[in-house]
Amino acid sequence: MYPEELQYTKDHEWIRVDGDTGTIGITDHAQKELGDIVYVELPKAGDPVTAAETFGTVESVKAVSEVYSPVTGEVTAVNGKLEDHPELLNSDPHAAAWLIRVQLSNPDEVESLMSSEEYEAYIREAESH
């Protein structure tokens, strides 16, 4: 269910690392919690991001969620498709609906993130309460 090549955060973001660049998005669990996504607010290419700090928001009809960056670095690309098709986040959160690409300034930060197995266990834990 949760792609193995991605790594996950406690706030339900994922990151796919390729060397010293990363692609970041929100997980299927996050989009389910939010419901129909209507709007996404993202930074611009060139903006800095900091690990554990918010870089944007995702909005559904009834809720707004901050999105936190798993890593520190600089935004190199922003997914332009989401402006006209925010609903992509509901249908394909782990691939086509990536949010931003970043140049990592500290690649070691990904060590502390969860694997797909760990993330699945984490969600199961949270849901059982």
Partner 1 sequence: MRYLPNSPRDRAEMLRALGHSSIEELFSQIPEPIRFEGRLNLPGPLSEQEVLELFRQAARQSSRKYASLLGAGAYSHYRPAAVDALLSRGEFFTAYTPYQAELAQGTLQAMFEFQTLIAQLTGMEVSNASLYDGSTAATEAALMAMRLTRRNRVVVARTLHPEYREVLATYVRHLGTEIAEIPYTPSGQLDLAALESSLNKETAAVVIQSPNFLGTIERCGEIAEMVHRSGALLVVAVAEPLSLAVVNPPAEADIVCGEAQSFGVPVAFGGPYVGFLATREKFVRQMPGRLVGETTDSEGRRGFVLTLATREQHIRREKATSNICTNQSLCALAATIYLCLLGKQGLKALAEHNLAKAHYAAGQLAAVAGTSIPFAAPYFNEFVVKTPGKAETLLRELQAKKILGGVHLERFYPELKDHLLVCVTETVNKATLDRMVQVYKDFSAQKKVGAAAPAAGPHPVGQEKA
Partner 2 sequence: MKEHPRHARPHITRDEGLIFERNSPGKCGVDLPAPDVPAAPASELLGEELYRKEISGFPEVSELEVIRHFTRLSTWNYGVDTGLYPLGSCTMKYNPRINEVVARLEGLATDHPYAPADLTQGCLKVLHETARCLAEITGMDAVSLQPAAGAQGELSGILMIQACLTDRGNPRKYILIPDSAHGTNPASVTTSGYEVRNLKSDAHGCLDLAELDRAMTEDVAGLMLTNPNTLGIFEVRIREICDLVHRKGGLVYMDGANMNALVGIARPADFGADVMHLNLHKTFTTPHGGGGPGSGPVAVKRFLEPYLPSPVVVQAADGTYGLDDNRPKSIGRVRAFYGNFGMAVRALAYIAANGGEGLLQTTQDAVLNANYVMRKLQDVYDLPYDEPCMHECVLSDRRQAARGVHTMDIAKRLIDYGFHPYTTAFPLIVPGAMMIEPTESASKEELDEFIEAMRAVAEEIEEDPEFVLKAPHTTRVSRLDEAKAARKPVLRWKP
Helices (H), 23-103: 28-34, 81-84, 88-91
Residue 44 or residue 129: which is nearer to partner 1 going by CB? 44
123-to-15, 116, 127 alpha-carbon distances in Å: 17, 11, 6
Q: Are 95 and 67 in contact (CB under 8 A)?
A: no
Which x/- pattern, by CB under 8 A, does the window 45-84 give for partner 2?
A: --------------xxx-----------------------
Residue from 87, 92, 103, 120 touching partner 2 (CB under 8 A): that is 87
Which of partner 2, partner 1, none sits in contact with 86, Cβ below 5 to 8 A by type?
Answer: partner 2
Residue 73 phi, psi dihedral angles, 5° rounding = 170, -155
Point out which residues bind partner 2 (CB under 8 A): 35-39, 59-61, 86-87
